[in-house]
Structure formats: structure tokens, C-alpha cells
Structure 1
Amino acid sequence: MKIQNSILPKRNIYFLVVIVPFLMGLGVDLYVPSLPMVTSYFHTSANLVQLTISLYLLGYGIGQVVLGVLSDSFGRKKILILCALSFSLISFASILSSNIFIFQTFRFLQGICVAGLAVVVRAVLVDVFSGIELRKATTYFTLSWSLGPILAPFIGSNLEKCFGWKSNFYVFCIYGLFIFIYSLIRFKETNLNLTQFNITKTYSTLSSIITHPTFMLISTISALGYGAIVLFNAVGPFLIEVLLKYSVVEYGTFALILGFAYFFGTISNSIAIKFFNSNILLHFGLIASLSGSIFMLLLGILLHINLYIILIPVFIIFFFIGFIVPNALALTMSLFSNSAGSASAIFGTITGIVVFIVISLGSNLKTNSQIPLTFIYMFIFVVSTILFVLSKKIKNK
């Protein structure tokens, strides 16, 4: 049963659909321009610092299974306010880290907290919306998420220049506190069909989702698309700041441009969704992204490394990922409307684990050229296209 809200509560929900996904992107990208500085601060290796991104995403993935199930049983609001407050406190504690391993631990815990926020908001969309309205709401969700990668590196690079890299975590602290206060005062519970927590029933629900082949395949495609974006955020600062000798603020500007690529892609998708279904647009996004990665390889082979042969093909790839992620999200979330929290949890877990694997592989890349990055991009989109074809064959049986 869909909740029947007045206009004001729906406005409150849309506001959360804006501020929470933005934090999801912000949590990864705000301090990305500072990765070389963090490496120097902790007197450690680039691999260990890049691992702070991987661990954040691993926490983001693992946390959603537990917190998504709990939101089905105990309500969305309790999970939302608990995770927002915890995120704020852990962000402040991160500033006090004395070594890279403590810092990594706090990043993992940050990921768990953001997992709770993400899984609740995705579930709220299914609580409230259905059909074309749900497709539009998920597009708004991904549009908001896209603003994180767009604005975060630009903001973070300037924060580092003016106040040092730790200022990024003060922003996290304030942001989490704001979500906590807003949710406590303005958010109304949307899960009107609370299910009594039962291990046997929970196992059965999760099993039905995990064993649904279309759900798993499309969720993995979405995760790989997201992973392609985050991978550049982990490798890009070392390619552009360290290898090509651009400043942290210049990197922030370049990242801003790439972020707009994904944003414009998502906007284009929101227009195209009026004329084509999600399957067609998802397929289009996969083929176009694969073509962009092949173009990147050709430029890398034919030309000496410079800023433009990195940014131009990555811009193209990011634009077409704007067709992949929102359509994959819409397709998966519509399959389990009666277990939205659990489905959202599994979707997020797949995202976190897949991106963790992608970034872990990427942290071992040599950054003396963009060619290693290009091969991973090609692998990502070839695998994603194969998974899409398999999902269509399964659906047609």
C-alpha cells in the first residue's frame, strides 16, 4: 500500500531525496583532491590512502543489508536519524586520527552510516511512489547524487588550499548534523507496513532477492557504472596532480567539468525516458560508454600523455554513465516493491562490494600513463554489456 501524503510531507521527502544522495557522492569525492596531501600527512603510501575510499565503499555496501532489513522492521525514521548523528560524530573523530590505520577505520564506519541513509531514502521512494512517478523520483535521486561528484572535488580542493585537508571532514560533520536535525523534526515515517523482525522470514526475503537473476545482473551493471566514476576519482589526482604537475585547485576544476558530464548525461536521460523505456536507454548507455573507453585507448596509443587525452574520453564515458545508473536503479527497485528496504539494501551492498573490488584493483595501477585505467574501463563495460544481454535472455525465457 502506497502512503497517501499531503503536499507538505511529500516536499519533505523530496528534500531528503536531494540532500542524502548528494552526501553519498560528497563522502567519496570531497577529499579526493587531497589524496596526495593525506599521503604526505600520514607518511604512508598512495595505496593505503586510496584504500580509504575502498573501505568507505565496503562499509557502504555491508551496512545496507543490516540497516535495510531493520528499516523494514523498525521504520525508516529511526534508522535515518541514528545514522545521520553517527556520521556526524565519526566525521569529527576522523579529524583526530593519529595514523592511517585509524583513519581507515573511521572511513569504514562513515561508509556504514551513509549506507543507512542511502538505503532508507531509496526505500522511502518505493513507499511513496510507483510507476512513472517512481521512475521520475529515482531520476531526481540520481541527479542529486550526480551533484556530489560535480561539486565535491572543486569544493574540497579549495577547502584544502585555504584551510587544509581536514576541513573536508568538518564539512562532513556539519552536514550529518543537519540531516539529523531535519529528519528528527520534519520527516514522517513512510513505512506503514512494519514487519516483525524474524530471522527466518528475513532470510527468506533476502534469499528471494539474491536469487532473482534479473535483479542481481542489473544491480551489478549499476555498480560497475558507479565504479567507473569512483575509479577515476581514486586514480585521477595522482595522474593529474603528481604526473602532469597540475595544482590541487586545478584538479578540482577539471573534476568539476567531469562531474558536469555525468550530470548532463542524467539530465538527457530524464528527457529520453519520456520516449524510451529503461531497458533501451540502459543498453544505449552501455554501448556508448564502451565506445568512449575504446576511443580513450586509441588516443593513449597514438598520442603522448597530456591532460586532454585523459579528460575528453573520460568526459564522454561519464556522460553516458548518466544513462546507465538511473535506469538500472529504476529497473531493480520496481521488482520488489513489497520489500523495498531489503531490496534497496541488497542493491547497495552489491554497489559497495563491486566498487570496493574495482577501487582495490585500481589502487595497484601504475600512474605513469592513462593506459592501465583505460583497460579497466574497457573491461568494466564489456562485462556490463554481457550481463545486460544475459538479463534479457533470462527475462525472455
Structure 2
Amino acid sequence: MTTEATAPVFVNRRRAFIAMLIMVPLGGAATDIYIPSMPAMAHFFGSGQFSIQATLLLFMAGYGIGQILAGPLTDSLGRRLPILFTTCLFVIASIGIALAPPLWVVLLLRAAQGILAACSAVGARAIVADCYEGDERIKAANWMTIAWATGPILSPALGGYLQDWFGWTASFWFLAGWGTLVVLVAAFLLPETRRISLRQPLGDAFAVYRNMVFDRVYVPTALGMACLISVMYGFEVLAPFYIQTNLHHSPIFYGHLQLVLGALWLAGNFFNRLVSTKVRVRHTIAVAAGTSLLISLAMLALDLSGVFSVAALVVPSGVIYFLMATIWPNGYSKCLARFAQAGGSANALVSGLFIIVSAGFTAGASLLQSPSAWPLWALYIFVTAATLIFFTVFLRKEFDYTVK
């Protein structure tokens, strides 16, 4: 039976779902669209490689911390107004970077962009928990993951063309435009999906984190997801310099490679939908993470023996992208289901943790400067092994099922 408290959610669910699909990719686009421009930015600012990589690492740190703060905020105040306000500020920060200030200002604005994009992302993703239950929630979460993936899939290719045609600032002008679209969607299309009966004082909303931190499933799942997403972030931070600086290819070429990798990530998500109804989830995870670990070990050995080329970098990375993406929806839906009554905080903490942890892993790999890709393969060995341990040892019973 539909009550007065739930009626607005279900009556406007279609509008909310469409708005979510438009808003969710912004965070991924803000992360990835300018990646083909990294070598050009290093030349423009006359800086070292790590200083430019730090623009991404600081965004990721802000994005992770911002999501942890935004979860209780959106659970307490609702989804719509925080999305609207923070995205307006995101547009201003994007314009500030596009005006090409000194590098230290760019670094600060990238950190601010991360924090602001986080609030929009958390509010948008929480719509799934607000509007759907049971099997419908799993399906909606999968579509949300696919929508999020379009950001990192499409934006690097677009960024390569923008770099070639207009220079590195063009990507940030584009982000300002996309942010403006999100503002309009939040203002005129998105209904408020957080029921008033579920809202609570901000202090109480933050207190929910204590239960999550001590939950025997939630945190290990989040850490496992942090390890597997490091496959994507590690490539995005390290590969632009390998491919463009060391192997002398263009930004457009790199953008196309990233498009292929993003498509493989998306294909892995779709493949998970097919196999999850027939194969135990634990078995899928074990095969995907175990195979990725073996590939990473083999590629490290080949790289150290002198095998370094675009094909040797991208082909095995693409296989690993696909395999690790088959794990992703299972972990995400598990975390949301553990605390469905606090959907904003549940998706915020897991997202914040996996971004902060993966940023730390990637920063460590970035410090291992090398003209070949062995730091990337060393990172992949560590994170694929950790993924295997978290999901098949600590969480074995939680994923020992098939989705009906």
C-alpha cells in the first residue's frame, strides 16, 4: 500500500531515475576528461610529471573525503538542494581552472572540484536506495554503475580531441558546461526522493557511520572495492605519460585507447548481469581476481625483460579492466543493502573509502618514476592480490550465492 510519506517517491520515480542517469557521470568526467592533456599541462606549467599527476590525486582525495561528508548531509537535508548548491560551486571552480591560473591555484581548485562533485554524486546515487527495493534495487544499481562508467569511458576520448583542437583548458570549459546542465536538471527535473520521515539531525546522520565502520561486511567489502578500482585509477594516472611522452603518441590516440578500456569496463558490468544468475558470485570473483593477478605477474616479468609497447600495456590492462568490472556491481549492491535506510551515507562511505585508499595506492606507484610500465604492473599485482583476499577469504560466505 502506498502511504502519504512514500507517494512522492513512487509517483516521480521515473523522473528521478532519468535525472540520476544525467547527473551520475559528472564525477567520472571531472576525473578523466583532462587526462590526455596531462603532458601538455606539464609543458605549459614547466613542471615535473608528479606535479601534474597531483592534480588528479588531489581531486580523488577531495572526492573521497567529500563523499564521506556528503552522505550524512544528503540524508539529513535531502538530495535535491545539496546537489543544486554544490554543483553551482563546481561550475565556478571549473571556470577558475579554465582561466589557466598558476599551478598551485589549479591544485587547490582541483581539490575543491573533488569535494563539490562528491556531494552531487552522493545525492544522485542515493536516489537508487530511495526509490527501489529488492531485485529492482539491484537492477537500478547496475544501471547506475553503467551510467557512472560513461564518464570515464567517453570523456578521455573527448578530452583528447579538445586538447588537440583547443588546448588543455578546453576540458575544464566543457566541465563547466556539463555542470550547468546538472544544475538545470536538479532545479527543474529532479524531485526530492529522500522521505521527510527518514530525515534526521545532521549529528545523528554522522553517527550512522559508527555502525558501518564496525560492520563485519561493509568495511571489508569497501576495502576490496578500493583495491579493484585502483586498476582503473592507476592506469589513468600513469599511462598518459607512458603512452604520450615515452611512446610518443598523440592525445587523441591516448583518448581512443582509454575509450576502449572504458568500454571493456562497461562490458564487464554487463557480463556480470549475465553470469550472476548462473554462477555463484564467489566463483566469479575468484576467477576474475585470480586471473588478473596472474596476468599482472606475467606482464611485470615481461616489462622487466624489456617488453614495453602500447600493445603490451593496453591489451593486458583491457583484460584486467573487464575481469575486475565483473566484481564491481556485486560489492556495491552489497554495501547499499547493508544500510538501505541510510542510502546516502551507505554509498558515500563506501565510495569515499575506495577513492581515498585507491588514491593512496596510485600516489605510491606514481612516485616510482620509470620509462617503462613496471610501476603499473607492480600496483596491479598488489591490488589484484588484495581483492582476491578480501572477497574470497574475509567475505567468502557473503558472496556464496547466485542472483535469482
Structure 1 and Structure 2 fold alike (TM over 0.5):
yes
1:90 aligns with 2:93: yes
Listed one character per residue, the Cα deviations across residues 125-182 of structure 1 (whole Å, up to 9, x for unaligned) are 1111111111111111111122222211111010011111101001100101101111
- Aligned equivalent of 1:144, options 132, 138, 147: 147
Matched AA of 2:332 = L
State the TM-score, normalized to the length of structure 2. Answer: 0.92
- Aligned equivalent of 2:371, options 360, 368, 371: 368
Match of 1:77 in 2: 80
**Does the Cα contact within 8 Å between 1:157 and 1:248 map onto a contact in 2?**
yes
- Aligned equivalent of 1:229, options 209, 227, 232: 232
**Does the Cα contact within 8 Å between 1:282 and 1:323 map onto a contact in 2?**
yes
1:253 aligns with 2:256: yes
SS in 2 for 1:188: coil
- Aligned equivalent of 1:353, options 353, 356, 361: 356
Match of 1:60 in 2: 63
Partner Cα distance (2:64, 2:330) in 1: 20
Matched AA of 1:92 = I
Specify whether residues 130 and 391 from structure 1 end up closer, same or farther in structure 2 by C-alpha distance, changes over 3 A only: farther
Q: Tell me by how many angstroms 1:328 deviates.
A: 1.0
**Does the Cα contact within 8 Å between 2:83 and 2:119 map onto a contact in 1?**
yes
1:290 aligns with 2:301: no
Partner Cα distance (1:277, 1:99) in 2: 52
**Does the Cα contact within 8 Å between 2:86 and 2:120 map onto a contact in 1?**
yes
Match of 2:383 in 1: 380
Partner Cα distance (2:86, 2:267) in 1: 31
Match of 1:177 in 2: 180
Listed one character per residue, the Cα deviations across residues 44-86 of structure 1 (whole Å, up to 9, x for unaligned) are 1110110111110111111112221011111111111112211
Match of 1:99 in 2: 102
**Does the Cα contact within 8 Å between 1:295 and 1:313 map onto a contact in 2?**
no
- Aligned equivalent of 2:276, options 260, 267, 273: 273
**Does the Cα contact within 8 Å between 1:26 and 1:148 map onto a contact in 2?**
yes
Match of 2:163 in 1: 160
State the TM-score, normalized to the length of structure 1. Answer: 0.94
Match of 1:195 in 2: 199
1:29 aligns with 2:32: yes
Matched AA of 1:127 = D
Matched AA of 1:195 = R
Moved over 3 A (4+): 1-8, 276-284, 393-396
**Does the Cα contact within 8 Å between 1:36 and 1:237 map onto a contact in 2?**
yes
**Does the Cα contact within 8 Å between 2:220 and 2:395 map onto a contact in 1?**
no
Specify whether residues 286 and 16 from structure 1 end up closer, same or farther in structure 2 by C-alpha distance, changes over 3 A only: farther
Q: Tell me by how many angstroms 1:11 deviates.
A: 2.6
**Does the Cα contact within 8 Å between 1:60 and 1:349 map onto a contact in 2?**
yes
Match of 1:340 in 2: 343
Specify whether residues 3 and 365 from structure 1 end up closer, same or farther in structure 2 by C-alpha distance, changes over 3 A only: farther
Partner Cα distance (1:291, 1:372) in 2: 16
**Does the Cα contact within 8 Å between 2:34 and 2:156 map onto a contact in 1?**
yes
**Does the Cα contact within 8 Å between 1:243 and 1:368 map onto a contact in 2?**
yes
1:123 aligns with 2:126: yes
Listed one character per residue, the Cα deviations across residues 359-391 of structure 1 (whole Å, up to 9, x for unaligned) are 211221223111221111000011111122343
**Does the Cα contact within 8 Å between 1:63 and 1:116 map onto a contact in 2?**
yes
Percent identity, please: 26
Query: Which blocks of at least 5 consecutive residues in structure 1 are unaligned?
Result: none
**Does the Cα contact within 8 Å between 1:4 and 1:128 map onto a contact in 2?**
no
SS in 2 for 1:344: helix
Partner Cα distance (2:232, 2:315) in 1: 14
Matched AA of 1:197 = P
Partner Cα distance (1:355, 1:55) in 2: 12
Match of 1:212 in 2: 215
Partner Cα distance (2:153, 2:341) in 1: 34
More displaced stretch, 308-317 vs 256-265: 256-265
Partner Cα distance (2:124, 2:284) in 1: 24
Match of 2:16 in 1: 13
Taking only aligned residues, the RMSD between alpha carbons, in angstroms, comes to 2.1
Match of 2:402 in 1: none
Match of 2:312 in 1: 309
Query: Which blocks of at least 5 consecutive residues in structure 2 are unaligned?
Result: 400-404
More displaced stretch, 68-77 vs 297-306: 297-306
**Does the Cα contact within 8 Å between 1:3 and 1:128 map onto a contact in 2?**
no
Specify whether residues 130 and 309 from structure 1 end up closer, same or farther in structure 2 by C-alpha distance, changes over 3 A only: same
Q: Tell me by how many angstroms 1:278 deviates.
A: 4.4
Matched AA of 2:200 = Q
**Does the Cα contact within 8 Å between 1:139 and 1:266 map onto a contact in 2?**
yes
